[in-house]
Every structure is written in C-alpha cells, then in structure tokens.
Amino acid sequence: MIKVLLYGEARLIFNVKEIEEKGSTVKELLSNLALRYDKKYKDLKKFLIYVNDVNITALRMFRTKLNDGDVIMMLSPSSGG
Amino acid sequence: MINKTIAIVGLGGLGGFVCEYIGRLGFEKIILIDKDKFSKSNINRQLLCTTNTLDTYKTDNYEEKLKLISDSKVINHKEFITLDNLYLLDGADIIIDCLDNISTRLIIEKYASNNNKVIIHGAIGEKTGQVCLCLPSYKMLSKLYKNTSEIKKQTYGYAVSLIASLEVEVLMKYINNDYADLVDKVIYVDLNDLEIKKLKL
Amino acid sequence: MATKYKSYWGKVVKVNLTTKEVTDYEISDKDRLLYLGGKCIAAKIIYDNIKSKIDPLSEENMIVISTSPLNAVGAPCSSRFNTSTISPLTGYYTSSNCGGNFGLSLKRAGIDALIITGKAKDKTYLVITNNGIEFKDATPYWGMKTQEVQEAIPDKGAKFVIGPAGENLVRYACVISGERASGRGGVGAVFGSKNLKGLVAFGMKSPEVYNPKKFHKNNILWTKRLRTHPTTGKILPELGTASLVTPMHAKNLLATNNYRTGKFEHFDDVSGETLRDEYLVRNDGCTTCPIRCARVVTVDGKSVKGPEVETIGLFGPNIRNNNMQAILDWNYYMDDLGLDTISCGNTISWAMEANEKGFWKNGLEFGKIDNITQTLDDIAHRKGIGNELAEGSKRLSEKYGGKEFAMNVKGMELAAYEPRGAVGQGLGYAVANRGGCHLNGGYLVVLEGLGLSVNPYTPKGKAAFCVMFQDLMEACSAGGNCLFTTYAFFPSILIAKPNSWITRTVNKVFTSFGGIVTVLLKNPRIAAIHLPHMLPHTKALKYATGMYMDLGKFLQIGERGYNLERLIDVNLGVSKKDDELPLRLTTELQIATNKDSKVPLDVLRAKYYKVRGWDENGIPTDKLLKKLKIEK
C-alpha cells in the first residue's frame, strides 16, 4: 500500500488529508484513485507529485515505479497574492 | 543601508506586508509597481487598506508609509506589468513577486532570465502557499505552474503575512549569500496542518 | 522703410560696434513674403553678407537677432525669437532660438531685427528703446554671471546677456534672456568676441494686425486646442519635457554611458515623474504661453528654472549619474555661467570615456559627480582642464584621439536621443544645418517612439518625413511660435490612446506614406488649404500679416529657409562628407541581438538628398534654388 498525502486543492477534491492506495507506478496509482473517488485521471495529473520527497519530474514521471511503504504527496501551487 | 534596489511587484496582500518588512530593514531604493486602488474587499488582508484609504492608490499609500519608516528612495509606478513596460524593472537588483496571477509571473520570469535578475517568488491560496528563490537560469515558475490554472481564492491577513515573512527571509538569505540550500527548492506552507516543507522542485 | 504687411514694423537696424554707427537695413516686402521672419529672414541677411569662410570669433562675423510677425501681437506661444551667426563651434551657420522676454521687448521697441557687426573697442552693452540705440559701458558688469548681471544693469527692460563663458569665448557659450537660453552653437562666444556683454530692450508699442477680429478668434481656437491636446494640455504642463525620460528609456533612446546604450537602469531616479513628485515647486512658462512646460525647482535655497530633458539625459544617464538634485544644480549653474547644457554635457561624457580608455587623463569619470560643479566653473573661466573642455568634443577628439566616440556632427554635439533606437533621428542629426541638432534635424523621434511608434529601425519613409518636419519646424520658428505648438499636429487620439486599433494601424502604415509626402513637398500647391485644427499657424499668419498663406506656402517658406541655410553652409565648405555620424552610431549595434540597431546612414542620406532635390554631394541644385526663388 502507498500512502498518499493531500494538500491544498488536492485535499479539497478528495475531501480527506491522507489516503492509502495501491499502484505499482504513479500512473497506476492515480488511475486507481480516479476510479475509487470518481475523478478524472487527467485532472489528477495536474498536481505536483512527489514520491518520497522527490518530484516525479526528477524521476520517471508517471512511469515512476512505486514500492510498498512509499509516500506520495500531491501538491498544488497557489497563485494568489 | 543595504545597497540594493528592490522592486515589489503587486501591492496587495503579500506586497503590503513585504513592503512593511523590507522598509524596516533599510534598502537603498525600493520600486513599487501596482495600478490598483484599495477597495472594500481588500480590508480583510491588505495592510494599509482601511476605511480611510479606500479608493486611493495602493502605491501612494505604501510610498508614504515607507517614507515614515525608512530613508529608502522610493519610486512609485501606478502600472500593471505587461510585455510593454517591463523596463520599469530595469533598475531592480531583486524582484519580489507579490502578484495575484500566473501569467504576469511568467512574463516577469522571462524578463528576469534575459536580464540576469533574481526573483523572490511568493504566492498564497486559502491557507496554503509557497515561496522560492528564482535564480535567472532556473525556470522555477514555469515548472511550478506548468499545469496550473488561475484560481482566485479568499485568504486571510495572517496567512499572507506568513508568506510575506518567508519571502523576506529568502531575500535576506540571498543577500547574505547564504542561499545554497534554497537553490531549485520550494518552501511549501500549509496552515491547515501547520507544516512548512522545503522540497526540490 | 515701409511695409505693406501688418504685424511688422518694417524696421531692421544694423549696429556697427566698431564705428558705433546705427543704420537702417533694407528688407523688401518680397523677402518678407519669401522668408517671413525669425531664422529664415536671418538666414537671408547672413547669406547676403557672408559668402565665404570667416573666423567666427573675429570682427568679420555678424549677429542677427530676428523677431517674427507673430511676436507681440497676441498669438499663443509666440515669445520665441532667433539669434543667428556663424558658429565658433562648427564654423557653419547657426541659428539659436529662445523663449525669453528679450524678443518681445525688441519687437515692442519698434524693431523687427537687429544686426550686429564689427567689434567694440571697449566692453559694451546696448540699450534699445523706441527712441533708438545707446552704447553703454559694460566694464562694471564684465565677469558677472547671467542672473546677477540682469539684476545689476540699471536700464529698464528685458536683458539678453552672456556670462563668463561667453566672455571667455567658450565655443558653446550661450546667451541668456531671463532664465531661458539662446543655447546652441556658441552664440555667446560671438557676443564675447565682440566685447558685447549683452543687450537691453524696452518698448511699449505693438504693431497692428491685418484682421484683428479673425486673428483673435483664431487665437482663441488655437489656445483651446493647445489646452485640450494630451501632449500640450496635460503631459507638458505636468511633467515638462522631462516627461520624455521614461519613454526614452523604454524605447532604447536614452543615451547612456556616452551613447553606449539606450537604457539606464536608474532612469526612474531622474524621470519626469520623480522630478514632479520630489523636486517640483511649480510649473512655469514663457510669456504668452498656455502650455507652461517649464519646471521650477529649488537650487541652493532659491526657486529657479529646472532642466529640460536633454540636460537631464546628458547630465544623468549619459554620465551615469542618477542624482536628480545634482542635475538641477548643474543646470542652474550652467545657465548662470552661460553654457549650452547639451554641448557641455556631451563634451564631458566624451572626456569621461577618453579618461576611461586612457586617451586623456582628466579626472572625469562616469558616475563620479563630486567634481562636476567645479568643472563647469573651470570651463566657463577656461581654467585647468576647463580650458580644453571649452573647445568642444570635436576639437578635443582631434587632439587626443577618440573621434569614434565624440558624439557630434559638424562639431556640434548631439542631444540626448540615442539614434540607434530611432534611425530617422540619426539621419536628422547627420544632415541638420547647424550641426548635431535634434530639432533642426527634424525631430523624428516623435514618430519613432515618443509620440507615434512607427518601426524605429527601418529607413523606409524616414527621409520624406524628415524633410517635412524640418520644413514644418523651420516655418513654425520663422513665424515666431514655439515648436511645441507643432505637437498639436498629431490627432489627440494617437497620443492619448497608444494601444487603440487606430493608433496601431497608423503606426504600421505610416512609413509607407513617404512617397505621398514627397509628392506633397514637391508640389506645395496641392496643400493650398488650411488645417486650422492641426496647424493654426497658417491662419494666424494670414490674419496677422495680410499675406497670402496656406499650408503649402507655409511648408515652402520652411523649405526655402532650410535650403538657404544649407546654401550658406555650402559656401562655407559643407557637403556630403560633413553629413556624417560618429562611427559608433553607424557601425556598432546598440543591442547585440538586434542587427538593425545601428543607423543605416548611407541609405537614409541618399534618399534624403533625393527628396530635398539636392545632388548626390548634398548641394542644392540650381533648378531647386530657382524654384524657391533663391538667388545664388
């Protein structure tokens, strides 16, 4: 199981702070989340996604492999001032 | 007196507090850029917005305040930054991003990259926000906002003040050459959980 | 000498300082019709009298101070008067325009123009009244600065005086009327070389106008137009010419670091907005002017005249100074000493670069401002390095090297507009009759970014508009008006709404109109109309003088005057080789990534000669002179 921590906009979408979900890659995990919570996969792709405190842009993006115990963070940057 | 010129772009929630803090630190010159006047909806978070200052220019108010708390030279431009007036930033050593939208941020990032200027970025959502140091060659803001759309959110005075304080701290670290640990990193703030995280972008 | 035209006295007086003779000088009505007044009639007088090279600082030189029909009869913006001579800076014809009260007083004293020849044996000043001209001893006043001497001279009236700079023959010394200058070309040195400290004029008369009712009505409309136009009614009174600093920086036109770039990062410390917000006491203006663009600022505790944009540019960004108070101080000191701020600033910036590059060790450095005040004083008194700086950037660069960055044309230094950001302005600098002048050159920056915003880098259309603006401004000055009245030529919407679709379209297509403009210029009868909203001058002149006047005739007067000036210069040796720009402007890119950011002078100049009707060597052809009724 992968721990998914939700912040900002992501937290508002799912209405919860933390979720446990399955997935062998980031793509798979997001698809599972989308299915479970009746969301669109392409909307979930928009967030900043960190795996164990590393941005997936520095890993293999959505093909990044996930292991049991990994922690994913989904963040959305604010834009107000 | 810190021998630098700081441009504060946007004198709304963030800009107001940034201005206050920077004013009290003592910089040689401060450039204020905002075309707006105070309106009623600003009262909940904008430092100098009071019932007395409604419908007056934000930059005029902050210039006046700066004159009372510092010896800084203040230049006041009642403009919104667009592609046509980026030259207003030519005199700045460091640009403090206190804007309320993404597109202007991206315009300024391109300009800063072409002109070797540093941006201190700050932004706030409802109770979350982030701050980061943008060095000229790093496209921090383009990366940060890659898939984000503009969302207007209500926020709080104490939340903007926190982000503003962090922006100023990042500014001071940059000025004191103590910013190695800030390169390519974003400081995420979440007041809901009372957490501050520093993560590589 | 009588004249059938109104608004003139029909009296031109010649004063021989050597013999103390005062005689009448004949000007025919034919010449009045052809040349109007001001700089054009002065050109005629000088052309008739000086046909070959002379030493401008010798007795052989002549000064012509000429008024215009619209002076002292009630038109708006009509204080301007002209002083012409052969320039000690260039060796060529120069005409210098001034808005101080002397011209009005000279006209009220019953004189259209004053010619001064010879050299006084003793230090002299002249007093001109309705009763005649007196020669008075200027010994007690010799050495005084311009503000003090105007107070000290006891004779009633408006004064026109030199300061120490003119007395010491500084090649760019000016003459001061009140707080305004007959700035460029070194006219002050010519006064000094004749032992002439200055002139006082007092009079109580005004000439009649031809059709008082219509003249007055036109003046009311004219004043209203000036008051409601965005440039003359808002920007100039609020910010003065200093309003140009910010747009010049935005458009790469702000000469910085001796014309090495067109932007100055601290432009906003010396902008018109900063001047207004932090230094302005109030605005001010010449007598008769509704625009009131002059600044009043505080220097050494006194309220004095503030700087124009050229002074701000050349003593600000061009020497890398962002201290506004210093500029205000120096501007006042230069007026007081009687120095042309433009040539002075540009000579100093040349000297700074020469120092930086090791051509000449002189202690002047970019951004170093603590020795400038002393330097100005030294220039006026020809002390130390001041004695060398007093010679101007051309002579200095010939002595020490560094000609490629001596920013002058024909010896007269350029104004603060960096022409690699506006190539049409570059053409203007190169061909202007009195040397590197932004106004005599046609002031094309008003099209290329500071009013309209046509493509500043293309040569297309620029030559034709250069000729048209040169002629227009020549005629405007000949009539007696301030050049700022020509700003109202541009429809308000183009200025007030730079981003409207109309303005953007105009900017796009404007340079394509060069051909049409050329046709108009060559066939002035097409323009046998008035455009009273855009150019009230033509109706004003018609109703004031009784002459036939229309837009075409007006432009042709300008064309004639301009060509006559050129002819004087040709007689003194000018040709294509002198219509050049410093190499920096034609060969070095202002912006490394913009291959068009240098002045394509060859192309522009060739087209200019064609439109002017000159031969390839820049000499007006006989055919043209015949058409213009100029006798060779």
- How many residues are there in chain A? 81
> Which of C239, C249, C265 to mutate against chain B (most B CBs within 10 Å)?
C265
Instruction: Say what the pLDDT of residue C212 is.
Output: 97
pLDDT for C176 beyond 90? yes
Average pLDDT value over all residues in chain C: 96
Hey, is A43 helix, strand or coil? helix
Which one, of B94, B100, B109, B191, lies nearest residue B144 by Cα? B109
ipTM: 0.91
- Judge contact between C117 and C208, C-beta under 8 A: no
A–C contact (≥3 CB pairs within 8 Å)?
no
Indicate the pLDDT class of residue C2, thresholds 50, 70 and 90: confident
Whole-Å CA distances, C317 to B104, C63, C246, C263: 29, 35, 12, 8
Nearest CA in chain B to C324: B73
Which one, of C411, C342, C378, lies nearest residue C168 by Cα? C378
Q: Is A80–B153 a contact, with Cβ atoms under 8 angstroms apart?
A: yes
Instruction: Say what the pLDDT of residue C538 is.
Output: 96
Indicate the pLDDT class of residue C524, thresholds 50, 70 and 90: confident
Q: Which residues contact C580 (CB under 8 A, 6 or more apart)?
A: C409, C430, C601
pLDDT for C531 beyond 90? no
pLDDT tens string C543-579:
999 999 999 999 999 999 999 999 999 999 999 999 9
Name the residue with tokens 């460091």: B94
Q: What b-and-e string marks burial along A35-71, b requiring 16 or more CB atoms within 10 Å of the CB?
A: eeeeeeeeebeebbbbbeeebbeebeebebebeeebe
Whole-Å CA distances, C352 to B63, B166, C312, C345, C348: 36, 44, 17, 10, 6
Which one, of C243, C255, C584, C272, lies nearest residue C397 by Cα? C584
> How far, in Å, CA of C39 to CA of C440, rounded?
11
CB-nearest partner of B151 from A50, A73, A79: A79
Which one, of C327, C265, C357, lies nearest residue B86 by Cα? C265
Question: How far away is chain B from the Cα of C405, in angstroms, using its nearest Cα?
Answer: 25
Instruction: Say what the pLDDT of residue C632 is.
Output: 80
Indicate the pLDDT class of residue C374, thresholds 50, 70 and 90: very high
Instruction: Say what the pLDDT of residue C534 is.
Output: 86
Q: Is B152 on the interface with C (CB under 8 A)?
A: no
Q: Which amino acid is at C90?
A: T
pLDDT for C533 beyond 90? no
Q: Is B129–A9 a contact, with Cβ atoms under 8 angstroms apart?
A: no
**Region class of C427: left (phi > 0), else alpha (psi between -120 and 50), else beta:** alpha
Whole-Å CA distances, A12 to B127, B148, C124: 12, 15, 90
pLDDT for B135 beyond 80? yes
Residue C387 burial (10 A CB sphere; 0-12, 13-18, 19+) = middle
Which one, of C497, C605, C494, C590, lies nearest residue C254 by Cα? C590
Q: Which residues contact B68 (CB under 8 A, 6 or more apart)?
A: none
Instruction: Say what the pLDDT of residue C286 is.
Output: 97
> How far, in Å, CA of C32 to CA of C45, rounded?
12
When pLDDT is averaged across residues C28-37 and rounded to a whole number, the result is 97
Which runs of consecutive H residues, i.e. helices, occur in C111-158?
146-152
Residue A11 burial (10 A CB sphere; 0-12, 13-18, 19+) = buried
Q: Is C267 on the interface with B (CB under 8 A)?
A: yes
Instruction: Say what the pLDDT of residue C526 is.
Output: 86
When pLDDT is averaged across residues B62-68 and rounded to a whole number, the result is 98
Q: How many contacts (CB atoms, under 8 Å) link B and C?
A: 26
Q: Is B151–A47 a contact, with Cβ atoms under 8 angstroms apart?
A: no
Q: Is B201–A55 a contact, with Cβ atoms under 8 angstroms apart?
A: yes
Instruction: Say what the pLDDT of residue C1 is.
Output: 58
Q: Is C136 on the interface with B (CB under 8 A)?
A: no
Instruction: Say what the pLDDT of residue C525 is.
Output: 86
Nearest CA in chain B to A10: B128
What chains are in contact with A, requiring at least 3 Cβ pairs below 8 Å? B
State the sign of the Cα–Cα–Cα–Cα dihedral C549, C554, C559, C562: positive
CB atoms within 10 A of CB C89: 30
> Which of B126, B142, B160, B194 to mutate against chain A (most A CBs within 10 Å)?
B126
Which one, of A70, A68, A47, A51, lies nearest residue A59 by Cα? A51
pLDDT for B24 beyond 90? yes
pLDDT tens string C192-228:
999 999 999 999 999 999 999 999 999 999 999 999 9
Q: Is B85–C250 a contact, with Cβ atoms under 8 angstroms apart?
A: yes
Question: How far away is chain C from the Cα of B43, in angstroms, using its nearest Cα?
Answer: 28
- Cα separation of the two ends of chain B: 33
pLDDT tens string B137-192:
899 999 999 988 888 888 999 999 999 999 999 999 999 999 999 999 999 999 99
Structural domains of chain A ordered from first start: 2-75 (3.10.20.30)
pLDDT for C509 beyond 90? yes
Question: How far away is chain B from the Cα of C238, in angstroms, using its nearest Cα?
Answer: 16
Average pLDDT value over all residues in chain B: 96
> How far, in Å, CA of C254 to CA of C493, rounded?
25
* CB < 8 Å to A58, chain B: 200
Structural domains of chain C ordered from first start: 12-201 (3.60.9.10), 240-412 (1.10.569.10), 422-627 (1.10.599.10)
> How far, in Å, CA of B76 to CA of C269, rounded?
11
**What residues in chain A have per-residue pLDDT under 70?**
none
When pLDDT is averaged across residues C585-613 and rounded to a whole number, the result is 97
Q: How far is CA C389 from the centre of its chain?
A: 22
DSSP-assigned states of every residue in C509-520: HGGGGHHHHHHH
Q: Residue B48: which CATH number? A: 3.40.50.720
Number of domains chain B is built from: 1
Indicate the DSSP class of residue C4.
S
Instruction: Say what the pLDDT of residue B40 is.
Output: 96
> Which of C254, C268, C507 to mutate against chain B (most B CBs within 10 Å)?
C268
- Judge contact between C572 and C556, C-beta under 8 A: no
pLDDT tens string C394-432:
999 999 999 999 999 999 999 999 999 999 999 999 999
Q: Which amino acid is at C62?
A: M
Question: How far away is chain B from the Cα of A5, in angstroms, using its nearest Cα?
Answer: 11
| Segments forming the whole domain that contains residue B146 | 2-200
* CB < 8 Å to B75, chain C: 268-269, 274
Indicate the pLDDT class of residue C45, thresholds 50, 70 and 90: very high
Indicate the pLDDT class of residue C595, thresholds 50, 70 and 90: very high
Question: How far away is chain C from the Cα of B90, in angstroms, using its nearest Cα?
Answer: 5
Nearest CA in chain A to B159: A81
Instruction: Say what the pLDDT of residue B197 is.
Output: 95
Indicate the pLDDT class of residue C527, thresholds 50, 70 and 90: confident
> Which of B96, B119, B142, B147 to mutate against chain A (most A CBs within 10 Å)?
B147
